[in-house]
Amino acid sequence: MKNFFLFLVVINLQAKKVLIIGGGGREHALAWKIAQSPQVEKVFVAPGNAGTLYEQKTRNVVIDVNDFDGLTSFAQENNIDLTIIGPEVPLANGIVDVFKKQNLDCVGPCKKAAQLEASKDFAKAFMVRHNIPTAKYKTFTNAEDAKDYARLQKIPLVIKADGLAAGKGVVIAQTLKEAEQAIEQMLVQKKFGHASQKIVIEEFLEGNELSFIVLTDGKTIVPLVSSQDHKRLLDGNKGPNTGGMGAISPAPIMTRQLHDRIMQEIIEPTIAGMAQEGCEYTGFLYAGLMITKEGDPKVLEFNCRLGDPETQVIMMRLQSDLYDLCDAVYKKQLQNIKPQWSLQPAVGVVLASGGYPQQYKKGYLIDGLTLKSPDDCRIFHAGTVSKDDTILTNGGRVMCVCAGGDNLDCARELVYKRINKINWPDMFCRADIGL
Ligand code: AMP
Ligand code: GLY
């Protein structure tokens, strides 16, 4: 009898149910990775995409990422053990506060802490208070004052909407006229609504960009492997900014010394400073950094979540159990966890719809997905939808093809070989990721 109960306990320990909130490539990569955990029985993704629909142990659920009542009811009715929140909007709207009130284990910062991403003005003032290196700045709500200030600054000049603007709220003005136009559009024409009632004008920083993401339970900080996003639309880092057209991990400029400086000068004071100010930060924290010509790391932005497409290449390299890692956050036991990473670099290339990041069409049939990918290659879906056993495009960034390899060239070759077999009428991608 005793053995029977022990058996039940063991079975129960191994039958974890996970809910992942979001429907992009980041969430597909998280679902794929956490489903590999022997403890995990089932992964639900709300709302997911055509990629998560076909992943093992995984099921999509039709609940909007901002329907907190729907999500908490689902989590309670289905005995969800752990929820991971992918996108910034529900985090900024306080999803973690709502989950915690119901004693539901979840990974992400509370509403107050998510301000690090949701308000650039909050983040900048916080960095100044805590001596965290970042570009010089000033905040404005009045357009004439902002223009007067802009006239006295060096060009290029960076104009940022204070609030969340789906990655479109940053203008790098190459002339004073462009700066004035951006100020006018944001503050007067309210281009981003409430999000641009306030703007931050900041000094243009030159150097190499790096994404540095950590997981923290508020006390212990576990850095993930570094990565580099490719935000510009076109090869050679030309064209407009996008959500990210590809990523590599590790970031080529990363060194042990730089890693230690980023932890000491940026990440540790941020987590400590938030706690000191009564906004304990838990969950993933993404620091978008510029490494200047002098080699100094400075913060461009904070995100209160994992990056997309950075997560896809980071998950390709994670060898430890993602469930253990995430579960330790809520339980505040991260000090016991040391994730293992593959030494092989990973490359991810985003396949996008013609017209992205502006207008694009949806609903094209995607060819070439049923072919088997090599073992080291994965396709993470983003803007896709399944219809009558076919998969159709359903967004601007449609998928991210990823691979690991002995070196960047090997990984690159695998990725582009696989991409050559995928097609829809207006598909495009950058050809220089990982070069
Ligand atoms: P953000 O959303 O703040 O990360 O800005 C988007 C992109 O704009 C960044 O990834 C950088 O490429 C660029 N950017 C933002 N702030 C600056 C800055 N102060 N200097 C130079 N580039 C910047
Ligand atoms: N790849 C940039 C971001 O996730 O914000």
E-strand spans in 189-296?
Answer: 199-203, 208-216, 221-223, 228-229, 232-234, 238-241, 246-249, 283-291
Looking at per-residue confidence, does 358 or 14 come out higher? 358
Please determine, for residue 77, whether its predicted confidence score (pLDDT) is greater than 70: yes
Per-residue pLDDT averaged across 344-370, rounded? 96
Pocket test for ligand 1, best of 301, 308, 310 (most atoms within 8 A of CB): 301
To the nearest 10°, report the CA torsion of 138, 144, 149, 152: 170
Residue 6 has a pLDDT of 56
Strand partners, 213: 286
Per-residue pLDDT averaged across 393-414, rounded? 97
CA of 165 to the centre of ligand 2 (A): 12
Please determine, for residue 8, whether its predicted confidence score (pLDDT) is greater than 60: no
Residue 5 has a pLDDT of 57
Average pLDDT, the chain: 95
Alpha-carbon gap, residue 413 to 330, rounded angstroms: 40
Strand partners, 209: 290
Enter the pTM of the model: 0.95
Query: pLDDT class for 67, splitting at 50, 70, 90?
Result: very high
Residues sharing a CB contact under 8 Å with residue 214, sequence separation 6 or more, in sequence order: 221, 222, 223, 224, 267, 284, 285, 287
E-strand spans in 96-196?
Answer: 106-107, 137-140, 157-161, 170-173
Residue 318 in 3-state DSSP?
strand
Q: How many CA atoms lie within 13 A of 39 on its CB side?
A: 17
Q: Which residues line ligand 1 (CB under 6 A)?
A: 135, 158, 160, 170, 172, 202-205, 209, 231, 241, 288, 300-301
Tell me, using a 6 A CB cutoff, whether residue 25 lines ligand 2.
no
The residue whose CA is least distant from atom 15 of ligand 1 is 300
